[in-house]
Structures are given as structure tokens and as C-alpha cells.
Amino acid sequence: MSSRKSLARHTRSQFARSACITTASFIIGTTCMSGSSGATSLEPSTLPPSISYNAISNALPAGGAAAVHITAPHGLSCFLSSSNSSVRIPNRSFPCPTSGNGWARVVLPANVTPVPADYPITLTVIGPLENIIGKATVNVSTESPVLQGTRGTRRIAVLGDSITGLSAADIKKTLGRDHRVFLDGQTGYMVSQELPAVTYALERRTVNPSTMAINLGTNNGFYAYLEAFFPVGPAPWSPVPANADWRAQFRNLFRTLSADRHLQCVIVSNLDTHGPVPGFNEIMKSQNVYLAKLMKQSGKRFHLYDWDGLFAKHPTWGIQSNFFLGVHPLPPGRSGYATGLEAAMHRYNC
């Protein structure tokens, strides 16, 4: 029992020191700026922990539509604004989304010089008594993830967590040779938190891909592992959210993808099970089994990218001595992830 308490104290300490690195919200009292790669917060947020506000890490080009993610408790009103008058926000005031599946559209100015450029988008949340609950500002960038392919115009949307985000440059370079690539990789995101970006990318008026590649579930496994040491939320001192059920979140994801009949291929990465923490690896193995089951049920458009097997063959691709970084690929692993994804697409004629 004493060793268990010692491990719990060590885990709490490690998590507290790395909270702002591994997540994109407020956790255990540490002020983490809402935002991500390419979408940087401009000032400290005053939003409470129950409200999530982020920008898609890579917006569409200048003159195109971009998006912000919003999730809030029921009964609140959201208002979007920008200090830059050239940014157009079609729907400025609306009931705040509550499902984790809500995104709002903003239109960036055309003919921007120089490119890329950043545009601040401020969210103000209003309570039922017309009181201001809080504010936060994120930057939406015109740095485009959509690359003109040199040998074709097929579109692929690549979505995931920090594994995708860290590998972004390699993915764009590798797949951009014959695809137009939309990429969104959010550090610390669970499946449900990235679902708004999936919904956004599937819209006919935005990305409209023929292929979608998904690498999600690692952070769900991380929270499932922490449940052994922490109470489950919503207590403010707990880093484990109350809605971290990975089975339900995977089902919602597959339901969303299956409903889109325009998608020709869905490439789903399985999860690394060879990290330095055995208990965490067992959870990841359970997730891989469940992913395989869902893919089999979802039909012939769904295909496996065996990232777990590929990562295991190259132990120097990742950091094996640190719990929080054990799943993250180093530069050779990021290149390997992109090359492996391209190989999977060719294998399945995507």
C-alpha cells in the first residue's frame, strides 16, 4: 500500500508539472492557455474549467473559412468578436454548444500580405442573468494546411492528438506530393475533443476529403490509467475528466465517420503498446482490440494503419524513459509515421 501511495504522489507531481504541456484547458488549478500549434492564446483566459475554447490548429488559406471549437455547460450564450475588422464572423451570437461537437465559422480576409498572418478571435461567454462568465482569445492563422498536390487533387484530412501534431511537417511533405492535405493535431486531446474538427473537415463547404486518417485514443488511455490514482472528475482537484470513457467516444467517432457517404477511405491508426509503463500499455492494448472490432463492424471503407507494430520495430523512434513522452515520436519517428501512413494509403488504394 505504501508503494502505491508513493506512486500516486509521484504521478500527481509529474502531472502537475506537465499539465500545461499535455492538455489544452484548465487542470488542477494550473492556468493553461487554450490553444495549439498555429493557434496561440494572446492573453490569460478567464473562462472556468467547464468551458473549452480552441482554434483548429491550422486554418484554411487567406480568404477561406476557419473554425473555433467551443464546449460549455447548458444554458450559456456565446459571443465571438475580433479586434481585426477585416475578419468576418457570420454568426456572432449563439447558444454555446454543449456536446463537445460544436464549432463556429470565421472567414479570414483575402489577399493577405504577408502570408501567413494571425487573427485574434475572442469568445465571451454570457450567463443566464446576462453576466459575463469569462473571456478567452485565440489566434487563427492563415498558414494553410491545404497543399496543392503536384500529381493530383485528391484531398485527405489527417486528424489526431500530439502524435499527429508533432508529425505535421513530415505528413504534409510526404502526403502533399499527390494530395491536398488538411491536418489538425491537438496536444492532449481525447477522441471527443477532436470530434469537432472531424465534423468540420467532413463539411462539403470546407475540406470535403476523400480519405480521412485518424490517430486518437492515447489521451483517453492516459486518463484511464490515472483513474487508479485519482478520483474521477468533476472535482477541480482531479485531472481525470468525468467523460473520459474511451469506448463511448470511439463509438461516436465511428458513427460520425460511417454516416459520411462521401468518404472513400478511413485510415485508423492503432495505438502504441510498447511504452515504459506496463499498466498503461495494457489499456492501450484493450483500445486496439476495440478499434479492430469497430473497424470490422464499419465496413470495407475502414482500414488499419499498424502504427503499434511499426513503432515497435524502431525503438529509437520514441522516448522510452519518460511516462508522459513515451508515446511521442522523435524526428525519425515522425518521418516514419508519415511514410507509414502513405504506405497504408497505397496498400488500400486510398
Read off the pLDDT of residues 124-164 as tens digits, 9 standing for 90 and up.
Answer: 999 998 899 999 998 876 554 444 344 557 889 999 998 99
Strand order across the 179-185 sheet: 179-185, 154-160, 211-215, 265-269, 302-305
Q: Which fold has domain 23-144?
A: S-adenosyl-L-methionine-dependent methyltransferases (2.20.130)
CA 222 to chain centroid, in Å, comes to 15
134, 47 Cβ separation under 8 angstroms: yes
Note the pTM of the prediction, 2 decimals.
0.67
Cell reading at 313: 520495430
How far apart (Å, rounded) are the C-alpha atoms in residues 133 and 76?
9
- Measured CA to CA, the distance from residue 259 to residue 255 in angstroms comes to 6
Query: What pLDDT does residue 56 have?
Result: 63
Q: How far apart are CA 90 and CA 93, in angstroms?
A: 9
The per-residue pLDDT for 37 is 35
Q: 19-25, long-range: CB within 8 Å, 24+ apart, which pairs?
A: 19/239, 21/187, 21/324, 22/162, 22/187, 22/188, 22/219, 22/222, 22/324, 23/187, 23/188, 24/52, 24/54, 24/186, 24/187, 24/188, 24/189, 24/193, 25/49, 25/52, 25/188
Q: Give the burial class of 47: count Cβ atoms within 10 A of its Cβ; 0-12 exposed, 13-18 middle, 19 or more buried.
A: buried
Those residues whose C-beta lies under 8 Å from the C-beta of residue 150, and which sit 6 or more positions away, are 177, 178
Which sequence spans correspond to the domains of the chain? 23-144, 145-350
Q: Please tell me the predicted confidence (pLDDT) of residue 232.
A: 63
Place of cell 471527443: 192
- Predicted confidence at residue 208, as pLDDT, reads 82
- Which residues of the chain are modeled with pLDDT < 70? 1-42, 56-66, 99-102, 108-117, 141-152, 204-206, 231-243, 320-325
* CATH level 2 (architecture), domain 145-350: 3-Layer(aba) Sandwich (3.40)
Q: Give the integer Cα–Cα distance in Å for 121 and 258.
A: 32
Phi-psi region of 26 (alpha: psi -120 to 50; beta: other; left: phi over 0): beta
Centroid of chain to Cα 212: 14
| Per-residue confidence (pLDDT) for residue 269, from 0 to 100 | 98
CB atoms under 10 Å from CB of 270, counted, come to 23
One-letter amino acid at 296 equals K
Q: What angle do CA 246, 328, 306 make, to 5 degrees?
A: 65
Q: In what order do the strands lie in the sheet with 65-71?
A: 52-55, 65-71, 102-107
